[in-house]
Amino acid sequence: MIEVIPNWHPLFVHFPIALISLSAFFHVVAILLRNQSRCAAYLAVLAHTSLWLGALSSLPTALLGWLAFNSVEHDEAGHAAMLAHRVWALATVLAVVVLAGWDAWRHKVDATPGWLFTSAVILAWALVASTAWHGAELVYRHGLGVISLPAHVANDAHEHGHMHEASPHPH
């Protein structure tokens, strides 16, 4: 098996984020262009399909997140942040899967969505955004799942009190 440092979760996590974001966008545009029936039908296909694929991709992403949760070294502050991310992630996956199932059951693939359902998709997207923010906090604030900086870069930051965006130091 190909080794991914530290796990496979970062590789998969971007699919549900992108797909649910696209779904929310296409839902809104399909409604706004509903008077242009052919265009609205194409947009509806994109809206429904991206929602279904986003929900489907959220399942392995959540499983891989669970494996990452149990395998990444962390401190107490990182653990608390991981617990918050996990709560958001589980609520998000549940909401997205239920919403996609309801959509698949109730609508034809080219049916223009209504504002009530589109509002639910936008709320699901907000859950995705919050979950992603909490995940980014794990990486960028707590340093979970990343390899540490080389010693000379860390020492430079400590000596100068800040990191250089475009370092003049030879690399």
C-alpha 103: how far from chain center: 20
Domain contains 168: no
Q: What are phi and psi of 59, to 5 degrees?
A: -70, -55
What dihedral angle (degrees, nearest 10) is formed by the CA atoms of 136, 140, 141, 144?
Answer: 90
Number of domains the chain is built from: 1
Per-residue pLDDT for 69 more than 70?
A: yes
Is residue 81 in a domain?
Answer: yes
- Is residue 38 in a domain? yes
Query: What sign does the CA torsion over 154, 160, 161, 162 have?
Result: negative
Asked if residue 47 is part of any domain, the answer here is: yes
Domain-embedded: residue 2: no
Mean pLDDT score of the chain: 86
Closest of 58, 59, 52 to residue 102, by C-alpha: 52
4 lies in a domain? Answer: no
- Among 38-42, 51-55, 77-81, the range of highest mean pLDDT: 51-55
CA 168 to chain centre: 35
Q: Strand, coil or helix: what is 91?
A: helix
Encode pLDDT of 126-165 as tens digits.
Answer: 999 999 999 999 888 888 877 766 666 555 555 555 554 5
- Answer whether the bond into residue 6 is a cis peptide, omega within 30°: yes
Q: Is residue 165 one of the residues assigned to a domain?
A: no
Range of the domain at 146: 9-160
Separation CA 23–CA 40 (nearest Å): 14
Torsion angle defined by CA atoms of residues 94, 95, 98 and 102, in that order, rounded to the nearest 10 degrees: -170
